[in-house]
Amino acid sequence: MILEPSLPVKKAYETLITKIRDYFTSAGKKDAVLGLSGGIDSAVVAALAVDALGAEHVHGLLMPSAFSTDGSVKDAVELAENLGIGYDIVPIKDIYDSCLESMKSFFTDGKWTVAQENIQARTRGLILMAYSNKFGHLLLNTSNKSELAVGYGTLYGDLSGAIMVLADLYKLQVYELARFINRDGVRIPVSTMTKAPSAELHTGQKDSDSLPAYEELDPVLHALNEENATKQELIQRGISDKLIERIISLQNGAAFKIMQIPPILTVCGKPLAPEIKCI
């Protein structure tokens, strides 16, 4: 997967930098906050924000849970130090446990479900918005187009934000942008670039537990969205009927979420939602 032929990675980078800067100017704001997970998406958004606004105007919040790995926290700290941004570490385990205790009547069956996972994402959203309200920073959302297209995100949690910076770039394109950001030296940690993507919402969890591998997912999403390809055309390209059906089903199930997402910064031809207009 590469960026659109008419939009090489350098152009995508410049477009996002310009749109971040223009939005903040239009909103009368100078400062941004975002969650730093140790993953590729938040790393790329942090680097873009620094290049658009200056390191002194970007703040990161690390919010490890009981399921966060030491490596992810280390990667997030290394990223913040590489970029020269301020950061705070706000563990969410006690908040999460308190929420479960308060809602214990909901979970008497003892089964682990997405409901428990989403409490973590919404706890992080609460903390990020509290920081935003307290200090007047705008919250940058870090979700990418692949996740949005198939509903891999939590409403009122990690789908929160003033603007969605990566929402018009598929996951593989985010990696391409990360390599461009690192073109003159390591700003995004190498381990962030190479480890398997994970939201770390339960022990050992990986994105691939819930989604097709991005190497399979992104080309199909691109064909369906940007090319208006039909199922039959995809089958003729050698893509399995089972994979196509799975992705279309995920897309259909995600439609109601896309209707509720924050405004997005567009870089490609066919965003999943209306593009942002300066206010």
Alpha helices by DSSP H, listed for the chain, are 9-27, 40-53, 70-83, 93-102, 114-135, 145-149, 171-181, 190-194, 214-225, 231-236, 241-258
Per-residue model confidence as pLDDT tens digits over 41-64 = 999 999 999 999 999 999 999 999
Q: How far apart, in whole angstroms, are the C-alpha atoms of residue 10 and residue 183?
A: 11
User: Tokens at residue 239, please?
Assistant: 């893509």
* Strand order across the beta sheet in which 32-35 lies: 86-89, 58-62, 32-35, 138-141, 163-164
Q: Per mean pLDDT, which range of 6-15, 87-96, 127-136, 152-161 is the poorest?
A: 6-15
Residue 202: the pLDDT is 66
Domain ranges (residues) in the chain: 9-207+254-258
- Residue 92: is its pLDDT beyond 60? yes
Q: Which of 36, 31, 96, 99 is nearest to 63 (CA)?
A: 36
According to the model, what pLDDT value does residue 279 have? 44
For 62, list phi and psi in degrees, rounded to 5.
-95, 125
Q: Which CATH number fits domain 9-207+254-258: 3.30.1360.10, 3.30.56.10, 3.40.250.10, 3.40.50.620?
A: 3.40.50.620
